[in-house]
Amino acid sequence: MNRQNKTVIDPWGSTHVADYSKLFDEFGIEPFDEQIIKRIPNPSKYMRRGIIFGHRDFQRILEAIENKQPFAVMSGLKPSNKFHIGNLLTASEIIYFQKEFGAKAFYCIADIESYADNRITYEDATDTAVDNLADMLALGLDPKNAHIWRQSEEKRVTDYAFIFGANVTTATMNAVYGEQTNFGLYMSALVQSGDIMLPQHPDFGGPKPVVVPVGLDQDPHIRLVRDLARKLSSNYGFVLPSATFHRLMRGLDGSEKMSKRNPMSYFDLSEDLDSIRSKVMNAFTGGRATVAEQKKLGGEPDKCMIQELCVFHFMDDDKKIVEAYQNCKSGALLCGEHKQEVIDLITSWVKNHRRKKEKLIDTAREILNVK
């Protein structure tokens, strides 16, 4: 079987999804369907639009929401790059659960993983960590209802990692992640399991439901931590953590995914505005070869990255999304016109975000205890 027909999931490398619908049988992921969405008061746009497509054990979170019981939301980010549009989705999901349902947010700066995977020292990661956290705060993360930490400084996480390491075999790690020549990746995976279980530490009120919003590439971590929580539940009372899975946004140039090796595939939130405009203007579309052909045959919005930018991030009104889709398909909306409209939306959004972020840099430094 060639790679195009096979799903490959690698949290540290390349993830390829041949067919999202096959993930339910192949990996045991459950569909995030209308039966779930109709039980959620004010579902997020990612839920409504099918961007969140699957879950593990979200039933626990639904029950907590319906019974008004406490639960936590947990995720994090490697301090290896500037915050970019590929990071926006998970960030928005954390903030959604915090704002909509009062969930305490647990946000991790994954500096141990960034060293294991990218050889970025803790010291070198500091400025990026502050910058990334300021982005999160500007997006709406409320630090008053959050616990924010660096892996290298959170002893409760590393204590859990040691306990987990004593309860897992090399054979299991190989089965979950494939055989790795860099053993530090296995160690960082155990630390990430500690991150995910931190909301259930006695210092934070003990066992409770926890939801972890992730892309499919992170599912190996979810499978590992759920296995460990199950194995150790009789000792620690752990509740198996839940997860939601979102689709991975393609690269702006139409490539399978965004990659720092391909600068035209993404833009970061600190990038020069002219550079952002240029990348969006050159983004891959489903347009025809000529204007006349587009008006006659219509465009192909399912292939279009301009449409995808709107669906994922920059257009909140579902009706406008549908209208743009239909107008493209009918030939009434031309690519150049649509690109300019979306460029205006994005640059306005980015400018507003930067104004907020600038005021929050000192807060981010204070939270991370960076002088």
Q: Give the pLDDT confidence of 25-69 residue by residue, as tens digits.
A: 777 899 999 999 999 999 999 999 999 999 999 999 999 999 999
Mean pLDDT score, 180-202:
94
Model pLDDT for residues 216-232, shown as the tens digit of each residue: 889 999 999 999 999 99
The pLDDT value recorded for residue 286 is 83
Cβ atoms within 10 Å, residue 254: 16
Work out the percent of the chain whose per-residue pLDDT is above 70: 93
Which pLDDT score is estimated for 23? 67
Average pLDDT for 83-110: 97
| pLDDT tier at 297, thresholds 50, 70, 90 | confident
Domains of the chain: 3-248 (3.40.50.620), 263-358 (1.10.240.10)
Q: How confident is the model at residue 1 (pLDDT cuts 50, 70, 90)?
A: very low
How confident is the model at residue 61, as a pLDDT? Answer: 99
Model pTM greater than 0.85? yes
Indicate whether 17 pLDDT > 80: no
Mean per-residue pLDDT over the chain, rounded: 92
